[in-house]
Homo-oligomer: A and B are copies of this chain.
Amino acid sequence: MDFELLKQQKTEDINVFLKSFLPEETGKEAILCEAMNYSVAVGGKRLRPMILLEAYAMFGGKDTAAQPFAAALEMIHTYSLVHDDLPAMDNDMYRRGQLTTHAKYGEAMGILAGDGLLNYAFEVMSDAVCGQGKNAARAMRILAKAAGVRGMIAGQTVDLEWTGKPQTKELLDYINERKTSALLCSALMAGAALAGATEEELSVLKQVGNLVGLAFQIKDDILDVAGDETKLGKPLHSDEKNEKSTYVTLIGIDEAQETVKEFSRKAVELLETLPYENRFLKELLLSLVTREY
């Protein structure tokens, strides 16, 4: 089947089970659940859960055991966007052409919906760990660390601290390895861990994830200056508006384009050293280079 069609079908499958893992909008706290579900529904590509599921399949996983972790990872990714959009952070009112959570539900509910999504990710994973045991515990630990104080939150912190100040490429790498690559790495690693991959195999996947994550972020910076607003669903030049240094401002658009290509090629080469194959996953990772949105 055609890659784009297959990806679309897989995205739809993810949206179905993702919804089943989200809270029902019941109880006196229904508005909280509504704000959480709205936040997840606004998000779009389901890239991280898709990578997690494909890594699980690549290492021989055949059942639905990875679904709670894929759902949890998307909740974690979504909470980070909800909190990043808050007035005290990036103060964004729109994402993918729709109101951000705090813009729709108010600032307090933006904070609580984010907290709710982060905590709910661990509620869902705790259930799975109680039911599934050791490999599930490994996967949860991988996702927890990637999202955490030396991972995504560190990236967000350093990004915030340096906004409006001159940055070096080394600093930008430090931020992006944590803010973007950490979750992508964890998607590959957690999926593989669930299927019983060895620590050595996880270490290879970590390198793959780092390369893909950096390529993904550089591509994001490129699209912010040279993309198509309609396809992106958001205005261009947000980095400039927020006074952020990017790979484009630091190394120029041509070298940025080259780096994206090189990192992606290296990532695929590394992936091919593993004794398993997943053609769709390889195409998916490569599509991050060629994406226009």
* Chain A interface residues (CB < 8 Å from chain B): 23, 27-29, 31-33, 36, 79, 83, 86-89, 106-112, 114-116, 118-120, 122-123, 126-127, 129-130, 133-134, 137-138, 140-141, 144-145, 147-150, 153-154, 156-158, 160-161, 171, 174, 178
List 11 other contacts, CB 8 Å, given A79-B115, A87-B88, A112-B156: A23-B150, A29-B153, A32-B154, A83-B115, A88-B106, A112-B157, A114-B115, A115-B118, A118-B118, A126-B145, A129-B140
**Sample (18) of A-B pairs whose CB atoms are under 8 Å apart:** A23-B150, A28-B154, A28-B158, A28-B174, A32-B157, A86-B111, A88-B111, A89-B108, A89-B111, A112-B160, A116-B148, A119-B148, A122-B122, A122-B140, A126-B137, A126-B140, A129-B140, A137-B137
Do A141 and B153 have beta carbons less than 8 Å apart? no
Q: Which of B29, B123, B153 contacts A112 (CB 8 A)?
A: B153
Closest to A35 in B: B157
Given contacts A31-B161, A154-B28, A157-B29, contact A149 B88 (CB under 8 A): no
CB-CB under 8 A from A122, the residues of chain B are: 122, 140, 144
Nearest residue (CB) in B for A142 is B126
| Least CB distance, A101 to chain B, in whole angstroms | 12
In the assembled complex, the CB of A177 is this many whole angstroms from the nearest CB of chain B, namely 11
Asked if residues A150 and B27 are in contact (CB atoms below 8 Å), the reply is yes
Docked pose: A88 CA to B123 CA in angstroms: 26
Tell me how far the C-beta of A71 lies from the nearest C-beta in chain B, rounded to whole angstroms: 14
Query: In the complex, A259 Cα to B51 Cα: how many Å?
Result: 54
Are A130 and B123 closer than 8 Å at their CB atoms?
A: no
A130 to B142, CA, bound (A): 11
Cβ-defined contact, A149 with B86, below 8 A? no
Contact status A32-B149, CB under 8 Å: yes
Complex Cα spacing A249 to B9, Å: 57
In the bound assembly, the distance between CA atoms of A153 and B35 in angstroms comes to 13
Please name all residues of chain B whose beta carbon is closer than 8 Å to the beta carbon of A178 when the two chains form the complex.
29
Chain B residues with CB below 8 A from A127, complex form: 141
Residue from A119, A134, A140, A150 with most neighbouring chain B CB atoms (10 Å): A119
Q: Give the residues in chain B near A106, CB-CB below 8 Å.
A: 88
Q: Which of A28, A29, A154 is the most central at the interface, judged by chain B CB atoms within 10 Å of its CB?
A: A29
